[in-house]
Structure 1
Amino acid sequence: MDWRDIPSLSALRAFEAAARLGSLSEAARALNVTHAAVAAHVRALEAEFGQSLLTRAGRGMVPTQAGAELARDLGTGFAEIAAGVRAMRQGREDRPVILTTTPSFAQNWLMPCLASFWAAHPDVPLTVQTDQNMVDLRREGVDLAIRHGKGPWPGLEGMVLTPAKMVVVAQPGRFGPAPEDPRSKAAWSRVVELPWLLDQSHSEFNKRLIRLGIDPERLTATALQSNALLLPACRAGAGVSAQPLALVETDIADGRLEVLAEEAESDYAYHLLHLPGPLSRRAQTFVTWLRRDSQCIALGT
């Protein structure tokens, strides 16, 4: 189809509304534009086609024979477009909410929360996809993403889900008593001398160690392929690990890990992100629950 053969869609829509409603004023109200704008669109079409499309009839307007034929065809075409849009929207509403995040965040923060969500909203299916790399939400058809960092993320909207302050944790008592002040320089100087466990899959965490004055290359460390391997080893006493507090807060509360050093403050966080524009009803239900009803937010603050 050559779009150069088709007049302005705005003009065609204005004419179709005027012919169907029998009034330029009514068409203007229906389209939320001015009377003058509708009249200008109709005149432009009449000039392009070289014939009248509407004529006056009392206080209203009626289509000419040519105008009636054009209005009928436009009505049919616009109805098909509207049906296609409704089908797309309905398909979006009916499919599961798709959320992407990292394996570690899903395992240690998100999944423990979801039983209560599914209990409260059994009619909202949720698919959680895990990937260490960032996913193109538009190309992959993903509704929501949880990402670690400072932001912003161009082309995405969202909110801070939970802070990501860094802590160094270990099995309780494994390396002596926990410090009275884990934010002190002495606490950080001490953990540098301990055996470490490093996550090879998440280089951003190791970069954060450098910002804290710790060179991962100079640590006595064992590198593991993922946090899924690292955290069980840390709980078992194999070494210390630097983790965003959100990922280990439950472990700390339950006595499986203790904090040996703690970042004083941080502008890092986990962000809940989505493409610009309104979310589907189901996705909005999940976001509202996460912000208002989820106990996970309380854990992460």
Structure 2
Amino acid sequence: MDWKTIPSLASLRAFDGAARTGSLSEAARSLNVTHAAISQHLRALEAEFGVPLLDRTGKGVIPTAAGQILGSALADGFDRIAAGIEALRGEIAGRPLTVATTPTFAENWLMPRLGSFWAAHPEVEIALKPANRLADIAGGEADLAIRYGSGAWPGLQAEKLAPATFVVVASPTFTKINTLPACCWYFVERGFEHRKWAISHGLVTEGTRIEHLDSNALVLSAVRAGHGLTAQTRANVDADLASGALVALGEFEDEGAGYFLVTRAGEPSPALKAFTSWLKTDI
């Protein structure tokens, strides 16, 4: 399609509105523009084609023979566009809200609390995508990601959900029989914020004994069993600390960083609004 041969969309919408309603005033109201703007668009359209498209009558306007040809084509085209948009909106509204986060955050913080969200919003279906890698929000891989960082993700909207509070934890039995300098630290094998944070704060150095495991769930299992200690964000170990399965050896807030709600730019869907509002009140 050569768009240079097609008149402006504004003028075509003005003509379609006038042809459908038979009134320039009604067309102006339906398009939320002035009567003068509709008249200007129609004059420009008739000048481009070189023929009159509407006959002005005392009560309004009716399409000429040329106007009927254009009006029929526009009515068909705009109706198909409207139907396609409505179908897409229905498809989007029927999809679950996809939330990407780390497996540990999903398991230890989000899943135990989701019941309260569903009780308040039974109409919203949630699809969790737990993964250590960052989800491609811009590419539509998820509607929302809960990410740790500084909040700088170009092209995306980021709202701080909570500060990143890190806790050094171990089992109660481990702390009774070991001293900190000689102990073993457990971290996920891949580069992960917990290990990076411990290194940046001087808790882990080149001489520190470190065991790397495949997942943070295994890390926490090893630490609960008394094999060593680890650094975790507070949200990941709140339940363990409350139950006494783990004890905190130190707690630190990572200034400038935190957990962020990351979404695509634009107006959020009602489901996304409801979920983010719930997250912000429940964190």
TM-score by length of 2: 0.90
Q: What are the residue-to-residue correspondences of 1:72-151 with 2, within 5 Å?
A: 72-151=72-151
Aligned to 1:70: 70
Aligned to 2:238: 249
Distance 1:235 1:78 in 2: 63
Given that 1:54 and 1:63 are in contact with CA atoms closer than 8 Å, whether structure 2 keeps it comes out as yes
Q: Which amino acid aligns with 1:54?
A: L
User: Which sits farther off after the overlay, 223-232 or 259-268?
Assistant: 259-268
Given that 1:251 and 1:257 are in contact with CA atoms closer than 8 Å, whether structure 2 keeps it comes out as yes
Aligned to 2:186: 197
Distance 1:9 1:148 in 2: 44
Q: What are the residue-to-residue correspondences of 1:179-194 with 2, within 5 Å?
A: 191-194=180-183
Distance 1:38 1:11 in 2: 8
Distance 1:36 1:212 in 2: 67
Cα gap change, 1:171 to 1:155, in 2 (>3 Å): same
Given that 1:197 and 1:222 are in contact with CA atoms closer than 8 Å, whether structure 2 keeps it comes out as yes
Aligned to 1:184: none
Distance 1:158 1:192 in 2: 38
Given that 2:138 and 2:156 are in contact with CA atoms closer than 8 Å, whether structure 1 keeps it comes out as no
Given that 2:151 and 2:159 are in contact with CA atoms closer than 8 Å, whether structure 1 keeps it comes out as no
What is the DSSP-based 3-state SS (H/G/I as helix, E as strand, rest coil) of the residue aligned with 1:157?
A: strand
Question: How many residue pairs align between the two structures?
Answer: 282
Given that 1:196 and 1:241 are in contact with CA atoms closer than 8 Å, whether structure 2 keeps it comes out as yes
Distance 1:264 1:285 in 2: 28
Percent identity for Structure 1 against Structure 2: 47
Aligned to 1:183: none
Q: Which amino acid aligns with 1:27?
A: A
Shift of 1:226: 1.7
Deviations 1:19-70 (A, max 9, x none): 2223333322221223333222212211221111123222633322211331
Cα gap change, 1:200 to 1:63, in 2 (>3 Å): same
Alignment of 1:4 with 2:14, yes or no, is no
Shift of 1:141: 4.3
Gaps of 5+ in 1: 178-189
Distance 2:141 2:49 in 1: 42
What is the DSSP-based 3-state SS (H/G/I as helix, E as strand, rest coil) of the residue aligned with 1:165?
A: strand
What is the DSSP-based 3-state SS (H/G/I as helix, E as strand, rest coil) of the residue aligned with 1:136?
A: coil
Distance 1:197 1:245 in 2: 16
Shift of 1:104: 1.5
Which of residues 260, 263, 276 in structure 1 aligns to 2:249?
A: 260
Q: Which amino acid aligns with 1:124?
A: V
Given that 1:170 and 1:240 are in contact with CA atoms closer than 8 Å, whether structure 2 keeps it comes out as yes
TM-score by length of 1: 0.85
Given that 2:10 and 2:41 are in contact with CA atoms closer than 8 Å, whether structure 1 keeps it comes out as yes
Q: Which amino acid aligns with 1:248?
A: V
Aligned to 1:221: 210
Distance 1:200 1:212 in 2: 19
User: Which sits farther off after the overlay, 241-250 or 132-141?
Assistant: 132-141
User: Which sits farther off after the overlay, 199-208 or 47-56?
Assistant: 199-208
